[in-house]
Every structure is written in structure tokens, then in C-alpha cells.
A and B are shown apart, each in its own frame.
Chain A
Amino acid sequence: MSRITEKQAYKWLMGQLSPTRSWLLASITLGLINGLLFLAQAALLAKIIHQIVMENAVLESLTNDFILTAVIILFRALCHWGREVTGFKAGLIIKESIRGAILNKLKALGPLAIAEQPAGSWSTMVVEQVEELQDFIARYLPQMALAVLIPLVILIVAFPLNWTAGLIFLGTAPLIPVFMALVGIKAAEANRRNFQALNRLGGFFLDRLQGMETLRLFQRTRHEHQSLKWASEDFRIKTMQVLRLAFLSSTVLEFFASVSIAILAVYLGMSFLGYLNFGSYGAGVSLYTGLFLLLLAPEFYQPLRDLGTHYHAKSKAVGAAELILELLEREESAQHQGADLLALEAPVSIVAEALTVQGSGGGRALLEDVSFSITAGERVAIIGPSGAGKSTLVNTLMGFWNYQGGIRVAGESLSSLSMDNWRKRIAWLGQQPLIIHGSVYENVSFGRDLDESQVKLALARAQAMEIVEQLPEGLNSLLQEQGGNLSVGQAQRIALARAIAEPVKLLILDEPTASLDAYNERLVLDALEAIDPDCTVITVTHRLKQIDSMDRVLMLDNGQLVADGAPQALKQESAVVQAFVAGLAGSLDDE
């Protein structure tokens, strides 16, 4: 995985904008129209005042101007609303497409790649990090355009009226790109430090909360309470040192905005009093022009000031984009996908010939030169120390790993089969039961078209009806993920119901009872006893009792098949199996 730089992330993010370009343009256009309408509003206000003060016009004669101003203001309000809505829409489109891209990528990478990282970090990316893009697209990008366009329009309007006023604006205008950079760099720095400090503090707080139990057992809570205070104080002082400087850059902008109003006012006043006599192309300044220009002055700098307030949206978005791009650029291992279909009723025999599986990191092979043959309907245990390749073997059979060598299932080569079709023959039960956030019904049917009676039958066969009967709303009761309203044992029985809800020809069990107590283990094993004898069952296990009741045992070590045969025979003949079984007997779990 290559590290993604800020620049790459920004470039990538800008490259994602094409589907939303028209919405962004609409947002910018509406912002610009709003700016133009403001000019009209200022001109009308200045005109009305001029008429009243200088021309002594009667109020009634100005009624039309009043109404026109009000109408313009209402249109400005509408533009403002439209700008917000179109900008939001632009963000929404991008969020949707990027969220989709992340999920598609994860789907393509497959369950094994997903399991490499805590699932929480993926969901943070899908939810929070994608959300961080919203303000950048909806607010920052349009504002960036407006921060250039609106001052430009004001300059174009101001110069023909009064070149001195134009010069006062323009005198600071070449500085605008400098400000943009300043506001950009310094505000970015300020924001970065600010967020960093907050995050670190948050991390510290979270860490101490998580370790509260330890702190209490060692009576260190007072001390950590103190360090929490010190750390906060330390962060505050350091961050404020940075902010003190960083805020100066926006203060410079503020200063120019204020001072240009002051200079303009003084210049206009002195012109009126006759002390200054330049700027208006010899025509003299009217009160109308003076007030109009004065009203424009704050507006000249406003877009740039707004940009500064949205700046943190940019740094957050780029930060998020870095992580997202890093995921999207990960290489997908080509997964085999054929087109051949198996007959639904065909019993599943499995023959592996010189099967080799390479890990994703290169390195040592996860399985090397493994050959075995399993007849349909056989009960097979796969044993071996952890890291021996047991899970790799079952994952390969389910089509989640690429392999070299040969696997024939029901006589067909696995790589020539359509995976969707093949997986319809399989059911799988893992070590940690998966409970999704939904009802019992949803957990068992898991997106398949099962009716209520099928679900109930599956639950009954999995000895799980008693769980459902205890729940207030039966099949419709919501199940909560681990530790909610289910014990692990109960969750595993629900997961088992899911696995056996539809008849299959191959059942793969990956240490199905490893995390269960005696009671639940017995229930699960009883349920498994009742599986259709035609169904081939492969069980990865550590439990002696389970091994004894199998037809066959395959033992893996270090990616190689080291024993293959009936359990009783192997226990007598194979030294590796004897050693392994002796190790298992050292655990008290089986008694």
C-alpha cells in the first residue's frame, strides 16, 4: 500500500467532481447573481437617500424605488436559498458516488481483506470520512470562485464611477491572491493545529476512559484525573501559541476591510468639502456615488472572509480523501470466476490436487502442495495448530482465495464454476457468530426469500426456538449485536439457523463451538447431528470429542498436509497427530 500525499488526494478529489459540475456551476452562478443584485440594492438605497437629502424629494414620489428595492432584496434571499440547495446537492452526489465506490471496492477486495482491519475503521470511512467531504464541496468550492468573481465585479463597477475609490479597492486587490495564500496557509495551519490538539486530547480522554477499570484497581484515578487536567492545559498553551500567530493573517484581511472603508469615507468627505479634487473624472462626487461606493466597500472583502471560515472544511476533506484514496488504490487480487453451473442436487465430493495458495503479501505460501480427496456425504475434521492453514483451506473452498493446482468439486474444476452458483451449495458457520442489526427473521433469512415457516423450521432445527420464545416480539424482535440481548451461545444458534435454513450439499464449520459454554455446545452439536447424511460436512476444530465422531481427519501444519485418515487409525499410527492430540488434552476444555 503506497502512502497518499495531500496533493494527490486533493487532485483526486477535484477529479471526482465531474458528475456534479452543473450543480456547482449553478451554486456559483446564484452566488454571483446575489452579488450583482446587492449592487443594485446598494445603488437604489444610495439613490433614495440622495433624492431625499440633496433633492428634497417628497417621500411619495419615491414609492416605486422603495418597492423595487424590496423586490430585489426578496430575489437576493431566493438566490441565497438556491445557492445553499444547489451546493448541497453537489455534495450529495459526490458523497453518494464515493460511498458507493468505497463499498464496491471493499466488496471486490472480499471478506478476507475486510477482516484484516477492525470493521469499525471501515464503517468510520464509509460514514464519517465521506461526510467530511460535504462542506468542502457544497460551501468551500463555490466560495473559492466567488472570492475572485465578486471583487472583480465590484472593481469593474467602481472604476467608471470614481477612479480613486477604484484605486483604494485595487490598491489592496493585488494583495488578494496573497491573502488567499495567507488565509489558506495560515488558516490551514491554525485549523490543523486546532483539530490536532482537540483530537489528541480526545484520544487521551478516550484512552483513560477505556482503562478506567485498570486505573481503579491500581487506585490511580486521582492521578490520571490530574494528568488529564495537565495534558489539557499543556495542549491549550501550545495550541494558543500557534493560533496567536495564525489568527494574525485573517486579522490583516480584517484590517484592510476596515481601513478601506475608513479611507474611502475620509476621501469622500474631503472631496465633498472641497479639500480634495480628483478621482471623479472632473465631474465632482455626488452623495449618490459616495454612499454607493461606501456600501460596496465591506462587500469587496466579504467573500474572502467567508472563504476563511470554510477553510477547515478543505483540510478535513483532504484528510478524508487521503484515506479513501489509499483504499481505492489497493490492488484487487484477481478472483477466479467461471461460468459453469452445477446441478442443484449433485452431491459434493472434493478432490484437491497439489493445491497451493499464496498469501496476499507475497511471502510464504499459506497452503503448499496439498492433496486429498473427500467423498460426498463424508464428515471431515480439519485439525492443526493455529496458523497451519485451516481457515485458508476452507476459505479457498468457498472461493475467497485464488489457488494454484487443482480443486474438483462434484467432478468439476472449482475455477471454472460460477461462484454464485457454487456458493448456493454451501453453508458456513464461523467461530464468531455474526448478528446483524435487525429482527430475528432478518438474521435468519439474511436477504434470502424465506417465509416465516421456513425460518421457524430452521430455528427449531438449530435448537434456537427457545430463544425466540423469550423475546417480546417473537420473530420480529430486534437483535442487538454482540452482548446486547443475546449471549454468544444464543447468537451462535441463531447463526446456525441461518446456515441450515436452506438445504445445502456442503456445510463448512469453522470452530463452531470454540466460544460456547457446555450447554450451548451440546445444543449446537445436537443440531449438527441431524444434518442430512448426503451433505458433506467439513469442520475445523480443536475439540477432541468432535474429532472422534468424524469419518476422516485432515491435519495441517505449516501449510502442509501432515496426516489424512480415520481418527482412530491416526491416533494410533501418526506421531504428529498423537503429539497434537496430547497438546489438546492439556487443555481442560474437553472434560
Chain B
Amino acid sequence: MMSELLPYLKLYRRHWGALSVGMLLALATVLFSLGLLALSGWFITATALAGLTVATAQAFDFFSPGAGVRGFSIGRTAARYFERLVSHDATFKLLAWLRSWFFEKLLPLSLTQLKRYRKAELLNRLVADVDALDQLYLRLFSPVIAAVLVVALISLGLSFFSPVLGWGTLLLMGFWLLFLPVVFYRLGYRSGRSQGELLGELRQKALDYLQGMAESRIYGSETRMRARTDATEQSLHATQKKMSRLEGLGGSLMVAAAGLSAVIMLYLAAGEYQQGVISGPVMVMSVFAVLAGFEALMPLPGAFQFLGHTQLAASRLTEVLEEEAIEFGQKSIPEAFKGHIVIQDVFFQYPSIAGTETVGPMILDGISLDIPAGQHLALLGKTGCGKSTLIRLLTRQLPGFEGRIELGGVEIDEYSEAALYELLAVIPQQTHVFSASLRENLKMALPEAEDSTLLETVKTVGLDKLAAAEGDQSVLDLWLGQGGIALSGGEQRRLAIARALLKKSEVLIMDEASEGLDPVSEDHLMNQILNAYQDKTVIMITHKKAMLERMDRVIRMDGGQVI
């Protein structure tokens, strides 16, 4: 049952130091708290017995147990405090590490595969799945190991006084230690999984209902569409009810287990006492120890009930990580590089879509194109004619095509990743605005750029107007993206153009770069960018006639071919 988690369990090794300290402190907390109650019980009973006669009362050494009781109480407080600190700190570290590890793992994947996850919802799930993994330590490992050690230590400790009590404890507590995980894992497994799925389904149905509000009003089916949402809500609630019953069952089992074990322990200890094996105070101590020891078992039902959820998260992540990676070559940029692009008999089709047998249509159907270095080429064609696919092959965002694509005399898959992307500058259809300052957003393109260079570029593309609305703050310090200024479509284009201006590479690729700009800015910005790339190779996808006059050559595509 753990095979899904195995690859992730290995990750914990890196942090075993901090994690074990946390675990030891958790163990110490339980032991101190157990010691406090057990020793107090022993102390009261012993003093009560000693108090029966004056002589024994005066002979009784109350200093050591008194000090022990005080020590345990302080110890418990301190251990609990540090346990919380250390385990939270460790969790933060683990979380940071997991994310950075996952990020690293995603890097070599093909961008098209990642694009499927770009829809915020899927990515959110991905992020939540990574989060679920770090819960593994706090919710599962630490409690299980602490529980095992506590049971072992109580049994061992009591066996010094009487083997019967030692074995009794081991059997009583050991039974629950084995029983609870198995039962709750099995019980929680299915409902835990279906709860996650139903939550997703409810989200989908609610989305359908809300997005389809206009349609359902027009077709008079609002009530029925709402009923779909309500039905899913009902089944979600039914599953949650099951889960909550399980949780209730877990809690009540623990109440019963702790109480009944203490009673049985008392019965056993009383027998030992009456046979003279142990003293009265030890009898009380053993009962209190078992009673308090169950505190260590409390988290187990919950931990195993949700294990199914964690496993699901792990298997989803594995699925993502196992996707095909794009392999880059080793070659660096040849000396005297010229941006000469040769596309020769290139065929491409998307692999079959999951769930259907049919293979996607031929997107590129034996296309050939020779673009001399320094040529400015416009690429025209209807949506779906294959021009965007061609660009994606050229920028190696799509794996697997037939034919030959050369850049500067070298096949593009022979370039190292660093070399290829140093050669290419891309203004994509959609610009990602990072949640960072404008400075950081621009420095993507030219990390070593001075503020003065950045400011100049900002003025060139007209993004300096952003600062006017935001007071006298330096425009470069403006925070963009999530939690900052949301850029309009036109402003996003300007940002992308600014990045391309800063990067100044050998080849520039623009995918409808002037969409969303007013004619005056469009004119100005296209002049700027085409001047900056005057001697370089430029490929531009466009829908606008006005653009064509600036280009050296116009190519029209249809059905995956040049026409």
C-alpha cells in the first residue's frame, strides 16, 4: 500500500536531523506527561500508606518524588513548546524543499505537457498535492513512531516491576497500535479518495451551472441544471458523513480503548499486588501510566484515515513527473553564427487523445521553408493552419516531429538548452506577468541590466505611464501580477516587447505581437522592435495588413503547408 509513497518517503532522508529532533521532543512530551501522572499517582498512594503510622510518615523521603513531579511538569511544558517550534520549523523546511525539488523535476518536461496544467485549477491541484505530501511527516510519521516508542517504553518500564504487567501493557496497547492503522486505513481509503473526487466534481458542476446561466435561462432548464449541482452536493455530503462517522468512531474507539485498557490493567495489577509481587503505589503507577500512555495513540486513526488522500496526491504527482522530457543536445553556438533557418519536409501530428483511438490530424504536412539570415518574414494563415505549431517546434516546446529544422546550420535538437534559448527571443501570444516588481519582470531578459537601461526600455515601450497612476514611486519598483497591478492586454504586450528589446538575440519570433495595441502605439512599437532586430532574422505571425509592408517576405500557410 505504500508503493505510491515510496519515492517521496526517500525525500525525508535529507531532513532526518530536524525531523528526528522534532520526533524526540514529541516523544519526550508524552513521556513527561505520562511520568507526571504516574509518579503523582505513585506518590499519593505511597504517602497515604506511609501516613498510616507516624513512624513511617516521618521516615518517608518526599523530596525526591516531589522534585520528580515538579521536574516532569516543567519538562512537559518545555518539551511541548520546543516540539511545536521544531516541528513547525521542520515542516517549513520540508515544504520549501519539496517545492523546489518538484520545480526542478518539472524543468525538463515539455512545455506543451505543462501547458495542460496551466489552467489555474489543475496547477492549484498540483500545488495542493505537493502540500499534502509534507503533511505526511507531521500527521503520519511523527505520531506513529512516537506511539511505537511510548508503548515499548511503558511495557519495558513496567516489566521491571512485574513481567505480567509488562506483557499485559504490550498486548493491550500493542493490539490497538496494530489494529487502529489497518482498520482506519481500509475504512478511510475509499471515502477519502471519493471525497476528493466529489469535491472536484462539485466544483465542475457549480462551474457548469454558473457559466451556463444564460443558456439555462434561455432553454428554461435552470432548475434542472441546479439539480445537477445539488445532486453532487448531496453525494459529497453523504461521503463526508461517512468520513465524519469514521472520525467519530476513531475517537470513541480511543476513549473505549484507553478506559478499558486502564480497567484491565488495574485488574491485572491488583492481582499482582495481592500476590505480593508489586507494591500498592506501583499498582497505581502502572494504571496511570497506561491511561496517560494512550495519549500517544490518539492521532493514529486520523492519520491513517487520510493516508488514502495522501497516496492519491502522490500518485498524481508521479504521473506528472513521469511524462516525457525534452532532450537537448550538447552543442554550443557555432562561431560566426548566422540566423539562417532551414525547415525541410517537416511533418507533425499530436499524439492520440486519451480516451479515443483516433490520432490527431496532420498539423504540419511536409512543410519546407528556407529563411535566410536577416530576413524579416511574415507568416499568415487562418487559426489552425499550423503556424503556431511551427513556431513551437522551432522553439522546442513540442517534442517529436519528422523532418529537419536547422538554425545556423545546426539541427535544433543538437543545441544545448542554454545555447538555443540564447539564440531565440520570443514574444508569445500570452505574456506571463510574474508576481514581482517591474524591474524583476524585465530582468528576466537581461539579468545584468542597469536600472538606467531598464528605464530607457520602459519609456520606449510606453510602460512609464504605469507610474503616473501610482504616484511618485519609481516605475521599476511597481509590483505587478498577483497582489500588484494587473496589466491590461496591451500593457502585457508592451512588457513582452520590452523583454525582447532587452534580450537582443539572433532570432526574433513574434506571435501576434501587436494584438490589443491601438494603431499609433502599434506603429511605434513595431518600428522600435524591427529596428532593434534590423540585421537579425525575424518571424512574425500576424493578422494585420499594415504589418506586411514592413516585412521582407510574406508566407501564407494552410493545411500544414506553405501555399
Q: Which residues of A contact B (CB under 8 A)?
A: 41, 45, 48-49, 52-54, 58-59, 62, 66, 69-70, 72-74, 76-78, 80-85, 88, 92, 95-96, 99, 103, 106-107, 110-111, 114, 119-120, 122-124, 126-127, 131, 134, 138, 194, 197-198, 201-221, 223-225, 228-229, 232-233, 235-236, 239-240, 243-244, 247-248, 250-251, 254-255, 258-259, 261-262, 264-266, 268-270, 272-274, 286-287, 290-291, 294, 298, 398, 400, 419-420, 423-424, 426-428, 430, 434, 436-438, 446-448, 470-472, 481, 483, 485, 487, 489, 498, 502, 515-519, 585-589
Contact = CB atoms under 8 A, between A and B. Distances in A.
B41 A258 contact: no
A96 B81 contact: no
B144 to A, nearest CB: 19
B103 interface: yes
A251 B266 contact: no
B421 A218 contact: yes
Nearest to B131: A202
A269 B43 contact: yes
Interface string B351-386: 001111110000000000000000000001011110
B312 interface: no
Given A269-B43, A398-B214, A261 B36 contact: yes
Contacts of A203: 435, 482-483
Nearest to A207: B435
Contacts of B287: 45, 49
A452 B204 CA distance: 25
Contact of B395 (A111, A217, A434, A448): A217
Contacts of B95: 198, 201, 232
Nearest to A74: B256
A551 to B, nearest CB: 24
Contacts of B54: 274
Q: Identify whether the interface residues of B are mostly helix, strand, loop, or mixed.
A: helix
A208 B434 contact: yes
A53 B49 contact: yes
Nearest to A419: B217
A517 B385 contact: yes
A223 B266 contact: no
A232 B80 contact: no
Given A232-B96, A232-B99, A294 B40 contact: yes
B179 interface: no
17 contacts: A49-B45, A53-B45, A88-B245, A107-B213, A110-B213, A203-B482, A240-B89, A262-B36, A262-B40, A269-B62, A272-B48, A273-B51, A273-B62, A426-B218, A437-B201, A437-B208, A518-B384
Interface in B45-67: 45-51, 54, 57-58, 60, 62, 65-66
B130 to A, nearest CB: 8
B219 interface: yes
Given A119-B210, A272-B47, A273-B62, A45 B266 contact: yes
Q: Identify whether the interface residues of A are mostly helix, strand, loop, or mixed.
A: helix
B16 to A, nearest CB: 18
Nearest to B397: A213
Interface string B118-132: 111101101100110
B77 A236 contact: no
A586 B545 contact: yes
A153 B524 CA distance: 80
B206 A262 contact: no
A212 B397 CA distance: 11
Given A48-B266, A274-B54, 15 more contacts: A45-B262, A45-B263, A49-B266, A52-B280, A53-B273, A77-B252, A81-B252, A84-B252, A216-B417, A219-B422, A258-B36, A446-B225, A447-B224, A485-B356, A588-B543
B163 interface: no
B106 interface: yes
Given A261-B36, A428-B214, A229 B81 contact: no
The 3 nearest A-B residue pairs measured at CB: A447-B221, A84-B248, A232-B96
A170 to B, nearest CB: 19
B266 A232 contact: no
A404 B397 CA distance: 53
A127 B44 contact: no
A207 B481 contact: yes
Given A232-B99, A424-B220, A265 B43 contact: yes
B127 A472 contact: no
A244 B211 contact: no
B57 to A, nearest CB: 5
Contacts of B280: 52-53
Contacts of B247: 84
Count chain A CB atoms within 10 A of each CB in B89, B213, B384, B417 and give the residue with the most. Answer: B213
A106 B210 contact: yes
Contacts of A220: 444, 447
A209 B356 contact: no
B320 to A, nearest CB: 11
B76 interface: yes
Contacts of A209: 103, 106, 114, 117, 123, 126-127
Count chain B CB atoms within 10 A of each CB in A70, A138, A286 and give the residue with the most. Answer: A70
Contact of A119 (B73, B211, B218): B211
Nearest to A122: B210
B270 A59 contact: yes
Interface string B144-169: 00000000000000000000000000
Count chain B CB atoms within 10 A of each CB in A114, A434, A487, A588 and give the residue with the most. Answer: A588
A111 B213 contact: yes
Nearest to A273: B57
Given A240-B88, A266-B66, A436 B245 contact: no
A254 B76 contact: yes
Interface string B542-563: 1111100000000000100000
Contact of B65 (A76, A269, A498): A269
Interface in B418-441: 418, 421-422, 424, 426, 428, 431-432, 434-435
Contacts of A205: 99, 103, 127, 130
Contacts of B473: none
Contacts of B453: none
Contacts of A119: 207, 210-211
B41 A210 contact: no
A398 B69 contact: no
B9 interface: no
B89 A217 contact: no
Contacts of B92: 197, 232, 235-236, 239-240
B421 to A, nearest CB: 5
B212 interface: yes
B356 A54 contact: no
B402 interface: no
Contacts of B123: 206, 209-210
A53 B284 contact: yes
A587 B543 contact: yes
B74 interface: yes
A53 B48 contact: yes
A111 B217 contact: yes
A537 B226 CA distance: 29
B434 A207 contact: yes
A58 B37 CA distance: 26
B21 to A, nearest CB: 15
Nearest to A427: B218
Contact of A59 (B58, B228, B271): B271
